[in-house]
């Protein structure tokens, strides 16, 4: 297996991190542009949110099919096909001439992204040693965060000066170069053999078994609610800053996504936390930090908002690393399917959460966001306490049936 501090480990970790970077670059390119696109198409904030939600929901829907495909043809092939589809789909995004067409193109992008997202952590769980896995997952999540930062900040700046189409072209070209780099650096899978003889019905049974395993499904639900809050709190903050009394241009407001850097740091630290403390305590810590951030951002000063977003990012990515790694370790059968199912909840929550939090914003401003978000943070805490009981009780998650 690939062990820590080896040349193969460094190559694989960099390649997987670059792939995750590309996924988030493409997925959230349009998030800072929501105010601009709402004005261009003369629609409300809730309607234009489909440019973000469409990609996230399409990604979540297609994760399981991609994961099943990886069980049949192999992890490496699925990851490569997914990455090389990105610049191709980018051309369809450029061709869109209406909000509906653009939403469909963004949905196609989400479906293309799902291949790599569904398989990457399963590849790590099978190819990396246990110690290397803990660190690699945190580094992978950190790369995801950095990809989100880059596309959101550059997307805002480029579109402000040269239009959103130019931003799409830049990301597509970078995606092509990145896909080639991953192809050259990432080792082929050595500890997984494709199973083309396994029936579709058997894979469906695996999905049902994962959902029926409380230890796994609880972590999946936590991941979904956590991401519903995290990604959409930033969307709402962008809307807040371009509105009165701040009137910030999009290129300036998009700088709030630099606050993701704190999440990159805490995602890396999560592996060290898990080696010393429980996963459930880490989730509770991350949830508390995130909720504190929403409270700090109640203050009308921009500095308070930035501090609040730093706390939100730190806590959310810390919790995400905990739950993502938990699912990878506890699923002893069909790991790719289990990880894909986690991400179904994760990105599905991200897609749907925007409509909820934007509605809270339009009704009561940031105070309404704090109130609505507080309900969801409480839900996460209750589920984390349930996960704590599983940790202490030693309930087995390996109840997945054998594949025939």
pLDDT tens digits, 343-353: 899 989 999 99
Question: Is residue 314 assigned to a domain?
Answer: yes
CA-based torsion, 308, 381, 356, 267: positive or negative:
positive
CA angle in degrees (0–180, nearest 5) for 291-296-297 = 95
Residue 58 pLDDT:
96
CA–CA gap between residue 92 and residue 90 (Å, rounded): 5
Which of 106, 58, 35, 369 is CA-nearest to residue 232? 369
Residue 403 pLDDT:
33
Alpha-helical segments (H) within 331-400:
335-393
Domain count, the chain: 1
Question: Is residue 400 assigned to a domain?
Answer: no
91 phi and psi angles, rounded to 5 deg: -65, -35
Residue 141 pLDDT:
78
- Using a 10 angstrom Cβ sphere, with 0-12 exposed, 13-18 middle and 19 or more buried, the burial of residue 382 is exposed
Residue 199 pLDDT:
67
Question: Is residue 403 assigned to a domain?
Answer: no
DSSP letters along 46-69, please? HHHTHHHHHHHHHHHHHHHHHHHH
Question: Is residue 401 assigned to a domain?
Answer: no
Q: Which residues of the chain have pLDDT under 50?
A: 395-404
CATH assignment of the domain containing 320:
1.20.1250.20
Residue 397 pLDDT:
43
Question: Is residue 197 assigned to a domain?
Answer: yes
Question: Is residue 398 assigned to a domain?
Answer: no
Residue 400 pLDDT:
42
Question: Is residue 402 assigned to a domain?
Answer: no
Q: Residues 6 or more apart from 269 whose CB is under 8 A from it? A: 138, 318
Structural domain of 192: 7-393
Instruction: Write down the pTM of the prediction.
Output: 0.82
């Amino acid at each position: 297996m690939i062990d820590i501090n080896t040349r193969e480990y460094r190559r694989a970790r960099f390649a997987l991190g670059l792939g995750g970077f590309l996924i988030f670059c493409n997925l959230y390119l349009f998030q800072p542009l929501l105010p601009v696109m709402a004005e261009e198409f003369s629609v409300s904030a809730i309607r234009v949110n489909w440019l973000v939600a469409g990609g996230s929901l399409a990604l979540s829907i297609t994760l399981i099919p991609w994961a099943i495909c990886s069980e049949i043809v192999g992890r490496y092939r699925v990851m490569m096909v997914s990455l090389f589809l990105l610049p191709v789909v980018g051309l369809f995004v450029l061709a869109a001439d209406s909000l509906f067409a653009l939403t469909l193109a963004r949905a196609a992008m989400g479906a293309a992204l799902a291949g790599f997202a569904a398989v990457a952590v399963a590849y790590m769980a099978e190819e990396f040693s246990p110690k290397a896995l803990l660190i690699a997952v945190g580094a992978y999540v950190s790369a995801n965060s950095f990809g989100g930062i880059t596309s959101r900040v550059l997307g805002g700046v480029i579109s402000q000066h040269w239009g959103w189409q130019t931003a799409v072209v830049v990301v597509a070209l970078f995606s092509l170069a990145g896909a080639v780099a991953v192809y050259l650096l990432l080792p082929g899978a050595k500890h997984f053999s494709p199973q083309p003889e396994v029936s579709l019905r058997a894979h469906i049974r695996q999905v049902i078994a994962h959902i029926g395993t409380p230890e796994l499904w609880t972590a999946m639900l936590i991941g979904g609610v956590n991401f519903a809050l995290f990604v959409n709190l930033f969307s709402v903050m962008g809307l807040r800053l371009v509105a009165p009394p701040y009137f910030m241009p999009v290129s300036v407001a998009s700088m709030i996504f630099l606050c993701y850097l704190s999440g990159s740091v805490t995602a890396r630290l999560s592996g060290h936390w898990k080696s010393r403390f429980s996963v459930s305590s880490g989730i509770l810590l991350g949830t508390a930090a995130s909720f504190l951030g929403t409270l700090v951002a109640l203050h009308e000063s921009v500095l308070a908002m930035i501090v609040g977003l730093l706390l939100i990012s730190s806590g959310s990515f810390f919790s995400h690393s905990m739950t993502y790694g938990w699912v990878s370790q506890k699923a002893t059968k069909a790991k790719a399917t289990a990880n894909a199912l986690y991400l179904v909840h994760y990105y599905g929550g991200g897609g749907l959460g925007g409509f909820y939090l934007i509605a809270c914003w339009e009704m009561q401003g940031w105070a309404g966001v704090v109130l609505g978000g507080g309900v969801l943070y409480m839900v996460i805490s209750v589920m984390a306490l349930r996960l704590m009981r599983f940790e202490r009780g030693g309930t087995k998650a390996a109840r997945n049936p054998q594949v025939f």
